[in-house]
Amino acid sequence: MPEVKARGRAPGLREMAAGDLETIARLESELFGAEAWSRDLLAAELKASRGPRADRRYVVVESDDADDAADHDAGGGLNGSRLLGYAGLYHAGGLSSADLLTIATVPSARGRGIASLMLTDLISTARGMTALMSCWRCASPTRPPSGSTPGTGSSPSAGAVATTRLRLRTPWSCG
């Protein structure tokens, strides 16, 4: 697991819970604007991550550090903690490729390894099920805006939606 740069105590990763939905719906709107998922869609996605037929995994990173708790960007988490990021993976129960559905970090927590922590967890889940993973929604200040070419001096836009395909090495792959 990547090391998260903490202001005080290190933030922790856990599965998303129903109690997170209000905060995540607010963060969705702030981070993705017109492309934000509704609270109802978020609830349906979370429901699909539970039970014996679960085909998704959703995680959050939260902090109970006093500095993060005072941060207006962070969302209210469970038990007084603050949500610093969230991410979701569709894995189809191992029947096909895995899709990184969404990953977002609050602006004030970017650059601390929070997205890397969530992505590492979801890649681990995907590796256990499939060899191909795609990313559909990423809110990141370092991702180039749609239509720009990386390395050309275009300035990145916060909340840009990007599509990326990642090939994951599985225990049975070569090279």
pLDDT tens for 128-159 read 775 455 555 555 544 434 443 333 333 334 33
In the predicted model, is pLDDT for residue 33 greater than 70?
yes
Burial call 19-42: b when 16+ CB within 10 Å, e when fewer: ebbebbbebbeebbeeebbeeeeb
Question: pTM of the full predicted structure?
Answer: 0.69
Token pair of 58 as six digits: 């959703």
SS3 5: coil
CA–CA distance, 159 with 162 (Å, rounded to integer)? 9
How many other CB atoms sit within 10 Å of the CB of residue 149?
8
